[in-house]
DNA sequence: TGAATGATTTACT
DNA sequence: GTAAATCATTCAA
């Protein structure tokens, strides 16, 4: 599926479709790094290259909101079809944006943790209260939601159609680490289910090096 | 109906 | 480096 040009050059951009998302969450999380997240509300366009993701794989993953098959109004969308948006509110302030993956009744999702702004930095800067060139625009899951204007209104939206979507990006070097902020999950927190672009200044934080050479 | 808590961010030392 | 902010969601009663 073609979309109109959204960032700068004349290249054509292909929207990621159902088949891309209806796979295992680890594959999708890894391959989303380098893709471009777009929010086109018809008046303004925002876009950013995904540089950091995390995979959450219920029901077995203790770190996932869908752990143990927990099916609530909040997690409901994760039990449905891949390619839909799962948003949740945390710490009394922040929204986080995910895309559902896998097959129905496999409650998985990829958390988008950081992007590199590509289009619409001025609006992102206004919403974030930071300069346009600031790394703080979108280098965290809550920050990018604020910059892109994501909140409960986007819950359940189909990312294969509509105003919010991903387009294919160029391949890039992807590293992995443990996920962030899920220490409550015991050994599940240690699994290397966080994926991020090597050498990107836009990732939310540098992973703690593991091993003498800082290898992943 | 009430209590606990969190897939974070920010300010401050 | 630490700590406070702040409220929707969840679960127990």
- Average pLDDT, 10 consecutive residues per value, chain A (216 residues): 47 87 98 98 96 97 98 98 98 97 98 98 98 97 98 98 97 96 95 97 75 39
What does the pLDDT look like over A57-105, one tens digit per residue? 999 999 999 999 999 999 999 999 999 999 999 999 999 999 999 999 9
Specify the nucleotide whose C1' lies closest to residue A89 (CA).
C8
> Nearest-5° angle of CA A158, CA A163, CA A166?
70
Specify the nucleotide whose C1' lies closest to residue A67 (CA).
B7
For chain A, what percentages of helix, strand and coil (3-state, to nearest 5) are there?
A: 25, 30, 50
Model pTM?
A: 0.93
Cβ-Cβ contacts under 8 Å for A47 (sequence gap 6 or more): A6, A7, A36, A37, A38, A39, A117, A118, A119, A120
Distances (CA, A) of A69 to A16, A59, A65, A196: 27, 5, 9, 28
Strand C contact with A88 (CB < 7 A): yes
First to last CA, chain A: 36
Specify the nucleotide whose C1' lies closest to residue A152 (CA).
C8
Contact A197, A173 (CB under 8 A): yes
**What per-residue confidence (pLDDT) applies to A86?**
98
Say how far apart CA A82 and CA A128 lie, in whole Å: 30
**What per-residue confidence (pLDDT) applies to A73?**
97
**What per-residue confidence (pLDDT) applies to A9?**
43
Q: How far is the CA of A71 from the C1' of C13 (A)?
A: 21
Q: How far is the CA of A213 from the C1' of C8 (A)?
A: 42
Strand B contact with A85 (CB < 7 A): no
Contact A191, A178 (CB under 8 A): yes
């Amino acid at each position: 599926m073609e979309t109109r040009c959204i960032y700068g050059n004349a290249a054509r951009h292909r929207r990621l479709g159902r088949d891309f998302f209806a796979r295992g969450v680890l594959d999708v999380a890894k391959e989303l790094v380098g893709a471009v997240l777009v929010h086109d509300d018809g008046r303004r366009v925002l876009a950013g290259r995904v540089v950091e993701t995390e995979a959450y794989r219920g029901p077995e993953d203790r770190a996932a909101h869908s752990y143990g098959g927990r099916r609530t109004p909040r997690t409901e969308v994760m039990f449905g079809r891949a390619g839909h948006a799962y948003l949740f509110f945390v710490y009394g302030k922040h929204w986080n944006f995910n895309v559902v993956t896998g097959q129905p009744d496999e409650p998985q999702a990829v958390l988008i943790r950081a992007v590199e702004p590509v289009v619409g930095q001025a609006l992102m800067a206004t919403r974030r209260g930071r300069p346009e060139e600031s790394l703080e625009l979108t280098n965290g899951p809550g920050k990018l939601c604020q910059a892109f204007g994501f909140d409960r209104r986007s819950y359940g939206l189909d990312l294969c159609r509509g105003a919010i979507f991903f387009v294919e990006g160029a391949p890039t070097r992807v590293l992995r680490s443990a996920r962030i902020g899920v220490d409550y999950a015991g050994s599940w927190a240690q699994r290397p289910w966080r994926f991020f672009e090597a050498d990107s200044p836009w990732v939310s934080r540098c992973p703690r090096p593991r091993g003498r050479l800082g290898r992943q």
